[in-house]
Amino acid sequence: MQVDFIIIGQGLAGTLLARSLQQRNQRVLVVDNNWKNSASKVAAGLMTPLTGQRFTLTPEYPELFKTAEKELSKLNVFRPTHVYRMFVDAEQRTRGLKRAECDTCAPFIEKITEGAGKISLDWSDEFGGAMMHGAWVDLPKLLQESAEQLKAAQLLRAEEFNYADALVTDDGVQWHDVSARGIIFCDGYRSALSGPFTYLPWQPAKGEAISFNSNAPDSSVVLNRQGWALPLGQGRWRAGTNWEWTGLNEIPTQVQNEKFQKRFKEYFKCEVSVEVTDHVAGVRPCTSDNHPFIGTHPEHKWLHLFNGMGPRGTVWAPTLAQEMADHLVEGRPVRSTCDLRRFTVSA
């Protein structure tokens, strides 16, 4: 079999890159080992504009959000939603009020409240909060529908890829019966553990999430305070998450389960029930400078990486999939802040 590119991994990154390459008339073969706790299968897929303790908007967010909205809407997986960030204290409220005045933040902020009960009497927003314009991405639909399309065209192999089985020559790459112009690693945090890109400064981080039923007051708004809770309708919710940099595995823990339940209950003034139906854990492919790793290996021109999407894959991947495809097909440089060549092999 002859293809232009072999893509390792059909998570969010591999899915969107395969699509961008196909749009440029490239033939791809996607190899995926159907790993049930991949980051894309565990993630809620939220896009929250202002984040972190300091409640900041990253400089690239407006541009990335615009492209994500356009590209993911075409696939019918983009779900605009309000996100209500409840402030933890008066200091955060002061910061929030300042953000509302800044030109780049303003389009993402609908309203800042200064005390409890200004939007809903149900929420325990003692210090007020920021009602933001965000979104969530229907990742299960995106992954499943793309897998079906690739499978129908015989361009998806459900198989484990071992780098040792790939033969890299002067003319390209050979893997089993497949010849290609290149291999692109979209294998999530596995690239931090083995393969040609382990030299990069990865910082994979474990996170967990629960799904549950609750009698909490109906909401169409994502609730956010030191974590998030996404309403799925008819009393169903998802909530998470946490950060763990050591002992990386995909095993959910009782400690986090209890923490998420407690946090959720504290979002409401009245007592609410939580009946957990699922609890998952996964590892985010995070990087030392919070920017993805994309581009071509400095020493092997047939080996490429499209990875390191970190905690905001839904925000980064749609734009970067286009840039990476232009790089692979037309040799255009990828943006310097995400180019893997910002780090040297010996680093």
Ligand X SMILES: Cc1cc2nc3c(=O)[nH]c(=O)nc-3n(C[C@H](O)[C@H](O)[C@H](O)COP(=O)(O)OP(=O)(O)OC[C@H]3O[C@@H](n4cnc5c(N)ncnc54)[C@H](O)[C@@H]3O)c2cc1C
Site for ligand X in 82-111 (CB under 6 A): none
Applying CB under 6 A, which of residues 18, 21, 28, 43 lies at the interface with ligand X? 43
Can you read off the two tokens belonging to residue 270? 């009245």
38 is an interface residue for ligand X by CB under 6 A? yes
Q: In angstroms, give the least distance from the CB of 286 to ligand X.
A: 8
Say if CB 295 and CB 340 are below 8 A apart: yes
Total binding residues for ligand X by CB under 6 A?
Answer: 42
Q: In angstroms, give the least distance from the CB of 284 to ligand X.
A: 4
Q: How many of the other CB atoms lie within 10 Å of CB of 163?
A: 17
Which residue, 96 or 311, has its beta carbon nearer to ligand X?
A: 311
CA distances (Å), origin 87, targets 41, 220, 300: 29, 19, 48
Cα gap 189→202, rounded to integer Å: 8
Applying CB under 6 A, which of residues 204, 231, 240, 318 lies at the interface with ligand X? 240
Residue 290 zone, left/alpha/beta (φ > 0; ψ -120 to 50; rest): left
Query: Would you list the DSSP string of 196-242?
Result: TTTTS-B--EEEEEEEEE--SPP-SEEEESSSEEEEEETTEEEEE--
Which residue, 256 or 296, has its beta carbon nearer to ligand X?
A: 256
Applying CB under 6 A, which of residues 19, 21, 40, 78 lies at the interface with ligand X? 40
Q: In angstroms, give the least distance from the CB of 79 to ligand X.
A: 12
Applying CB under 6 A, which of residues 20, 113, 214, 241 lies at the interface with ligand X? 241
134 is an interface residue for ligand X by CB under 6 A? no
Applying CB under 6 A, which of residues 3, 4, 21, 45 lies at the interface with ligand X? 45
Q: Binding string, 307-336, against ligand X, x = CB under 6 A?
A: x-xxxxxxx---------------------
Q: What is the DSSP letter of 258?
A: H
Applying CB under 6 A, which of residues 26, 33, 56, 58 lies at the interface with ligand X? 33
77 is an interface residue for ligand X by CB under 6 A? no
Q: Name the nearest CA neighbour of 340 among 204, 199, 205.
A: 199
CA distances (Å), origin 337, targets 12, 25, 289: 20, 27, 9
Which residue, 166 or 209, has its beta carbon nearer to ligand X?
A: 209
Q: In angstroms, give the least distance from the CB of 253 to ligand X.
A: 12
Q: Binding string, 182-221, against ligand X, x = CB under 6 A?
A: ----xxx-x----------------xxx------------
Q: Binding string, 261-290, against ligand X, x = CB under 6 A?
A: ---------------------x-xx-----
Residue 253, CB-side half-sphere exposure with 13 Å CA sphere? 14
Cα gap 148→16, rounded to integer Å: 14
Q: Which residues pair with 85 in a beta bridge?
A: 130, 224
Say if CB 232 and CB 278 are below 8 A apart: no
Cα gap 282→159, rounded to integer Å: 20
Q: Binding string, 157-186, against ligand X, x = CB under 6 A?
A: ---xx------------------------x
Binding site for ligand X (CB under 6 A): 8-14, 31-35, 38-40, 42-46, 160-161, 186-188, 190, 207-209, 240-241, 282, 284-285, 307, 309-315
